[in-house]
Structures are given as structure tokens and as C-alpha cells.
Structure 1
Amino acid sequence: MDAFDVIKTPIVSEKTMKLIEEENRLVFYVERKATKADIRAAIKELFDAEVADINTSITPKGKKKAYITLKAEYNAGEVAASLGIY
């Protein structure tokens, strides 16, 4: 699966901004069929960042959210800034 097909859009809200600042986490809508391995590979390819942990959930609207924790040596704020959301 192509990295651009896996990662749909970043989720921007007050909660996600707090996660970026305090927990080094990013939140994206991802392809519903994407596995955690697909998401990990897409983040590595698109942002050159190593992933420490991924939690996923399906929203009531049927969209899949991925909460991505980056390893300590990578800054979620810098990744968010490269996306223009921070």
C-alpha cells in the first residue's frame, strides 16, 4: 500500500495540539484497511521519523484514527510544522 494512500489527513484540534506538545504524539485519519505495520512504514517514508507506538480506533462515522507516538529522538512538533498544522 502506498504511503499517501495509508495516511489520509492529520487531525487538528486542541486535544491533538496538546498531544503533540506533551506526549510527542501525532493523530491522523488513516485508510480503514491499513495495518499498524502499514502506518509505521508510511510515517517512516513520509516524515523520516521512527515510530515508538501506534494505537488505532474506528470512529462512529467509520473512519480510522491512528495515534502515533514518535521515538524520543524525533519531535512531533517538527513533523506537525512540516505539515503546516503547528
Structure 2
Amino acid sequence: MNTAKKVSEERMLKVLLAPVISEKATFVADKYEQVVFRVMRDATKPEVKAAVESLFKVEVESVKMLNRIGKQKRSGKTVGRKNHVKHAYICLKPGQEINFTEEA
């Protein structure tokens, strides 16, 4: 947990934006025991690991990052683009679990 000391408390609260609740995220959670979060675009693996360990009081084994490019969309003549998103796939150590339905 030495990475938690390097990252400021304020930054840790801002790194994790939201958990990803989708069909793929549920499949990954069941099969590989991973949790998926949407994170800030400039977040790093050590920052995400420190944030998850301090906020949810669990031990993280590994973190994998995924950059998703926003799709191009058209409305008439104008062409726009959806926002780019970064996801973090967090593998927890055996016996660890994050329950989002539980009230704090």
C-alpha cells in the first residue's frame, strides 16, 4: 500500500468516476473476478490501485486500462463525436469483493 502515500487524497477521490454496469462488465466480474470502473482520462494504474484500495478497503492484485475512442455521430450535415472514455479493469485478490448494492 505504499502507492497510497504517493497519491494525494484529493486526487484519489477524483480518479474513479463510476462503476461500469453492463453485460460485458457483469460477465467479466463473474468469470474473471474483476471489477470495471470508468476513470479519468489521465489516470494511471498506481493512482487507480491506490484509490480502489483506500475507498473500498480491498486488496488489488492488478489493474488493466482500456481507452475507448468515442464513435462519430452525424446529425444532418454536422458530424460530431461522442466523448472518449477510459476504463480500468481491476483484478482483486482471492477472497476480496466489492458490493455496490450495499448501503454505506
Give the TM-score taking structure 2 as reference length: 0.70
CA distance in 1, matches of 2:25, 2:94: 18
Tell me the residue number matched to 1:84: 101
User: Structure 2, unaligned stretches of length 5 or more?
Assistant: 1-7, 71-83
Aligned to 1:51: 60
User: Whose helix proportion is higher, 1 or 2?
Assistant: 1
AA partner of residue 45 (structure 2): K
Partner of 1:39: 48
Which has the larger Rg? 2
1:72 corresponds to 2:89? no
Q: CA deviation at 1:21?
A: 1.6
Which residue pairs with 1:24 in the alignment?
33
Cα RMSD for the two superposed structures: 1.5
TM-score, length of structure 1 as denominator length: 0.84
Find the residue that maps to 1:67 and give its secondary structure: strand
Match of 1:60 in 2: 69
Unaligned runs of 5+ in 1: none
Query: Runs in 1 of length 4+ with deviation above 3 angstroms?
Result: none
- C-alpha deviation, 1:48, in angstroms: 0.7
More strand by share: 2
Partner secondary structure for residue 3 of structure 1: helix
